[in-house]
Every structure is written in structure tokens, then in C-alpha cells.
Amino acid sequence: MSTTPSRISPVTGHYVTIDVEGIEYKVFYLEHGEGQPLVCQHTAGAHNHQWRDLLEDEEITSNYRVIAYDLARHGKSDPPRNTEWWKEEYKLTANHYVAFITAFCDALGLDDPIFMGSSFGGNVALQLALHHPDRFKAVIPVEGADHSPGFYLDWWQHPHANAAQVCASGVWDLMAPQSPDKDRWATWFYYSQGSESFKGDLHFYSVDHDLRDRLGDIDGEQCPVIMLTGDYDYLTTPEDGERTAKQIRGAEFVEMKDIGHFPMSENYPRFAPYLKHALRRIAELTGDR
């Protein structure tokens, strides 16, 4: 049996306390790299470990400061510190989500960051491009779409079922069968940790997020939009991504083969070339390199 030598990762973790619409959050984030900030949002009901391999990809971190935060109520970011949050049902809205991300970027003093998110992070990337094109150099919506109904389900928190397993195994088919077992099971494990936030996140994903009549208002020339969608994603399919991109001025769409809804987490080696293509396109479109 071989052994792995001890190694300390260059990725570091930090907490930052931010104010979002009068509510105080202590937010945890991981970061590594120098250069252009690249802010990464995990998927609904998950946390920033989904970006674990990107954070250690030296080809990217040599030119980009990769920052992967935990949204409040996820991972190591607690619920609000100054409200009685346990007396309310958690239902994420587009307005609050956008305000949270811009407050986080302001707190870190990020200059013109690129924003990348997957699933409900992909959808909020579109919201950011619509509402704050001046605040972001570009956005990379991964597995995003103008509208993604159907996943705001009571099963995620049914008291007669094991919510951790329902959430984790309920998203199993969102991954491609070709993705490595160890990475699919790591993703499954993250989902077993997030059942209390998953349904509330999906209120944004499947209910409050609806840009079907707003895509024409997104200026993809001021804020480039490069959309990436895996062909095994049954929620936001390649057809959904392509339809969305076609209605955004200047947007580009790439279908990723043999990968699903959690590309950065289920199979990073497969995802990386698509991500690097997107970063190259953003550099070309913004005249950086």
C-alpha cells in the first residue's frame, strides 16, 4: 500500500464580517492565487469545497486570485448573527442574493472581479450581469439559465425521510456516470451536509429567478457572459443554456460533453479546459491579454 506524503495546501481560509441590507453575516472564504480576482459561488445546498481542485490549479492561480466563499447558512458561513433567523422560513430571493455577493466583493475590496457560479450560482451570475454590469469584469454562468422551475420540492425537508440522504442522492443523477466515483461521492457528501439550506436556496433557483423577459436588458458587451453547460444536466440542459445565451447581446455558450450539473466538483479535469477557454475569451473580449 502506497502512502501519500504530507503536504500543506497553499489554499488559505478567512472570515469576513459583512452587512447585507442591515443583516450581519460572518462569511468564510477560501482563496489562492494572484492577479485578476475570480469569485466562485457553490451550488445550492453545498459549500466552497466544490471548488477544491480549481483552488489548487496552478495554471489558473498563477494569473487569477481564486476566491470561493460559502454563502450564509452554508459550510462555515453561519446564519445571520443579529436576527432570530430560526423564527422564519429560509427562502432565498434574487435581490438578497445579489446584495450579498456585491457586499462580499466590496468587503474584500475586489477590483472588477470575474464572477463564476454553478447552478443557482449560474443563475445569479445572470442576475449580476443584469443589475451590476459595472461591478464585474465578466460572468461565467455554469449550468445556468433564464428560468429553472421544478426543483423547489417538499421532499428536501420531509420530516419522515432522511433529509441528508434525500438531498444527496436526489442530486446524484445530476452528475454524469463518467465522472470519477471519488469526486461524485465527495459531492454527495457535501450535499448530505446542507439539507437545511437546500430547499430555501431552491426558492431562488426555481421560483424567484425568472429572467425570461429580461435577457434583452443584459449588456453582454459591457459585462461579457460566457455560459457553460454539461450534457448530463437534466435541470438546466444545454438547450436551456443555449436558448438563454442567444437572447443576451454578445453572450457565448459552450456545451460541455460527458459532465453534469456540478462540473467543478464532479470532474474538474474534464471541466478545466472549458473553464480555461472561458477565461481566454473574457481576456480577449476585455482586451486584457
Of the listed pieces 67-75, 116-124, 169-177, 195-203, which binds another protein according to CB under 8 A? 169-177
Q: What's the min distance (Å) between Cβ of 173 and another protein?
A: 3
* Count of chain residues binding another protein (CB under 8 A): 22
C-alpha angle 54/55/57, rounded to 5°?
60
Q: What's the min distance (Å) between Cβ of 241 and another protein?
A: 13
Nearer residue to another protein within complex by CB, 51 or 232: 232
Q: What's the min distance (Å) between Cβ of 184 and another protein?
A: 11
C-alpha angle 23/27/31, rounded to 5°?
150
Query: Binding residue for another protein (CB under 8 A) from 172, 189, 212, 284?
Result: 172
Query: Binding residue for another protein (CB under 8 A) from 45, 113, 170, 220?
Result: 170
Per-residue binder mask for another protein (CB under 8 A), 104-143, x = binder: ----------------------------------------
Residue 10 in the binding site for another protein (CB under 8 A): no
Rounded to whole angstroms, how far apart are CA atoms 57 and 105? Answer: 22
Residue 176 in the binding site for another protein (CB under 8 A): yes
Q: What's the min distance (Å) between Cβ of 119 and another protein?
A: 14
Residue 271 in the binding site for another protein (CB under 8 A): no
List the 114-118 sheet strands across, edge first: 12-20, 23-32, 64-69, 36-41, 114-118, 138-142, 226-230, 252-256
Task: Dihedral sign for Cα 265, 54, 220, 69, please.
Answer: positive
Supply the DSSP string of 97-143, one letter for each residue: HHHHHHHHHHHTT-SS-EEEEETHHHHHHHHHHHH-TTT-SEEEEES
245: cell is 445565451
Residue 189 in the binding site for another protein (CB under 8 A): no
Rounded to whole angstroms, how far apart are CA atoms 61 and 101? Answer: 21
Rounded to whole angstroms, how far apart are CA atoms 230 and 271? Answer: 9
Query: Binding residue for another protein (CB under 8 A) from 69, 152, 204, 232?
Result: 232
Which residues in this chain contact another protein in the complex, by CB under 8 A? Answer: 150, 155, 158, 160-162, 165-166, 168-170, 172-174, 176-178, 231-232, 234-235, 237
